[in-house]
Amino acid sequence: MHPIIKSAIGLFIVLFVAVVWFSNYERQAVEIINQENVLFGSLVTPKRKSNELLPVVIFVHGDGPMSSGSYGYYEPLWQALANEGVASLSWDKQGIGGSQGHWLDQTMAQRADEISAAIDWVENQPNLDPERIGVIGFSQAGWVLPKVLANDSRLKYAIMVSTAVNWQQQGHYQTLQRLTSVGQEGEQLRENLEYNATLDGLLNEQVPYNTYKQFTESRQPESYGGGVLSKKRYEFVVNNMDVDARNELSGVIQPVLALFGDSDDVVDVKNSIRHYEEELSGLFRYKVYENADHGLFKNEYFSDIRRDSIWFGIKMNWLGADAMADSFIEDVTGFVKTHTQLYIEEVNINAK
């Protein structure tokens, strides 16, 4: 291993240990049973002790092989929620850490089942309040949360971060942004979009993987730059590409806060907001942060760093909350506080 990479990994470990050591919370390893799989995760609770049951926020990952803490991304939120006396619950995706299964084998409906299993788990914990459970989901979770919210009143509110509505519309938008970001226009752009539309047609037909691979290797324009999906990733896309959150949005009566960055090149922010405004049945608020990307990171810090680089992870953990869009952390904690407190007031009124 290159000495620079060794040093970077060492620095990353030191930063992680320092964060944990000086944190205001306790992190407990937990196991959540979901059908035939065991999910390993983290319950984060405030260090200060209280005789009251703790409200809890369930964290739901976006795409990719995510650990329970999303490799440090959730840390500032966990800290802020612990300061307000709120617990956080998250778990390793299937096939990551100790969790059984494989996340690429899952549908969005199966991911929704995991949230239901997590709610069941919360209800059996002596220190958590089963009447004050909320959820926060990121990116791909926009196709997961509505399925649970529409069918489970145990969730009292939801925060949706950089979420899309329709899988195929989102994919087309992301492809268009990727191509135009490198200056494509005119005939070249048209050729690549036509190829992308033909490719989507093959995926919709669920052609065998080898047929897809052969088509991609022989027909993909060099300027398209998309590469070839692995067999497992291909199957994941084919199994999920028909998902559309509009099928469940009208059944969501809980309060929803949606948060986006104005520089998001993955999700069509205006499209998501429009559908949420038109179709959600409960209270809906949204906010778009200036100079922030899909992860709500500040452009000034991360616009020139690859998300899969170790330097990105080091910088994210080093900056902590300062890496995020201004007021993002406060907006999340404020919404959580408001809706956990509203429930207490409602209970007190009904008791009187």
Mean pLDDT, rounded, of the chain: 91
Rounded to 10°, the helix 186-205/167-181 angle is: 150
Q: How far is residue 322's CA from residue 314's CA, in Å, rounded to a whole number?
A: 13
What amino acid occupies position 237? V
Residue 5 has pLDDT above 60, yes or no: no
In terms of C-beta distances under 8 Å and separation of at least 24 residues, what long-range contacts does 226-233 make, across chains too?
A: 226/175, 226/196, 232/102, 232/104, 232/105, 233/104
- pTM summary value: 0.90
Q: What is the pLDDT of residue 11?
A: 52
| Of 339, 316, 351, 329, nearest in space to 135 by CA | 339
Q: CA gyration radius for the chain?
A: 21
Banded model confidence at residue 14, pLDDT cuts 50, 70, 90: low
Q: Encode 144-179: b = buried (16+ Cβ within 10 Å), e = exposed.
A: bbbbbbbeeeebbbbbbbbbbbbbebbbbbbbbebb
Q: What is the pLDDT of residue 351?
A: 41
What amino acid occupies position 313? G
Q: What is the pLDDT of residue 295?
A: 96
Banded model confidence at residue 309, pLDDT cuts 50, 70, 90: confident
Beta bridge partners of 87: 56
Q: Which of 53-67, 215-229, 242-256, 335-349 has the lowest mean pLDDT?
A: 335-349
Banded model confidence at residue 21, pLDDT cuts 50, 70, 90: low
Instruction: Enumerate domains of the chain plus CATH numbers.
Output: 3-166+243-351 (3.40.50.1820), 169-239 (no CATH)
Q: What is the pLDDT of residue 51?
A: 81
Segment 221-236 mean pLDDT:
95
| CA dist list (Å): 62 to 93, 150, 254, 284 | 10, 20, 21, 21
Segment 280-308 mean pLDDT:
92
| Of 244, 249, 232, nearest in space to 106 by CA | 232
| CA dist list (Å): 86 to 62, 131, 231, 340 | 22, 13, 41, 9
Q: From the centroid of its chain, how far is CA 261?
A: 14
Q: State pLDDT tens for residues 113-158.
A: 999 999 999 999 999 999 999 999 999 999 999 999 999 999 999 9
What amino acid occupies position 162? S
Segment 156-164 mean pLDDT:
98
Q: What is the pLDDT of residue 311?
A: 81
Banded model confidence at residue 101, pLDDT cuts 50, 70, 90: very high
Q: Which of 19-33, 37-51, 87-101, 313-327 has the lowest mean pLDDT?
A: 19-33
Instruction: Compute the CA torsion angle 333, 336, 340, 341 (nearest 10 deg).
Output: 50
Residue 330 has pLDDT above 60, yes or no: yes
Residue 352 has pLDDT above 80, yes or no: no
CA distance from start to end of the chain: 67
Percent of the chain with pLDDT over 70: 91
Contacts of 64 (CB under 8 A, 6+ apart): 93
Q: What is the pLDDT of residue 350?
A: 45
**Are the C-beta atoms of 301 and 312 separated by less than 8 Å?**
no
Residue 12 has pLDDT above 60, yes or no: no
Residue 30 has pLDDT above 80, yes or no: yes
Contacts of 72 (CB under 8 A, 6+ apart): 16, 19, 313, 316, 317
